[in-house]
C-alpha cells in the first residue's frame, strides 16, 4: 500500500510518502476521522491492522493477529 500527502507542493506521482507492506492482500482501508495519520485495514485472511503513518520505523500500532480462535475467512 502506498500513500501520498496531497497537501505538499512537491507531490511526485512515482514517489509515495509512505510504503506499507502487508503479509496478505488488504481488502479495505479507513482513515481515522480525527487523526489522519492512522489507517485501519482489513486483510483477506481476516486480520485487522492499525498503522500510524507519523512513525518512521514501525508503522503498526496494533494488530488483531491470527490465532487459533481468530477469524480465518475473508
pLDDT digits (tens, 9 = 90+) for 11-43: 888 888 888 888 788 999 999 999 989 999 988
Give burial (CB, 10 Å; 0-12/13-18/19+) of 49.
buried
- For 23, the grid coordinates are 503479509
In this model, does residue 5 exceed pLDDT 90? Answer: no
| Helices (H), ranges, the chain | none
Percent of the chain with pLDDT over 90: 26
Q: Residue 70: which pLDDT band, with cuts at 50, 70 and 90?
A: low
Q: Which among 65, 41, 44 has a CA at the least distance from the CA of 53? A: 41
- For 14, the grid coordinates are 512515482
Q: Measuring CA to CA, how many Å separate 39 from each of 16, 31, 32, 50, 62?
A: 16, 5, 6, 6, 11
Would you state the pLDDT for residue 19? 87
Amino acid at each position: 500500500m502506498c500513500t501520498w500527502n496531497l497537501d505538499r507542493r512537491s507531490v511526485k506521482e512515482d514517489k509515495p510518502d509512505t510504503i506499507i507492506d502487508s503479509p496478505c492482500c488488504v481488502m479495505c482501508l479507513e482513515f481515522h476521522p480525527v487523526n489522519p495519520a492512522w489507517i485501519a485495514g482489513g486483510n483477506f485472511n481476516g486480520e485487522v491492522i492499525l498503522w500510524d503513518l507519523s512513525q518512521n520505523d514501525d508503522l503498526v500500532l496494533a494488530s488483531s493477529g491470527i490465532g487459533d480462535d481468530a477469524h480465518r475467512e475473508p
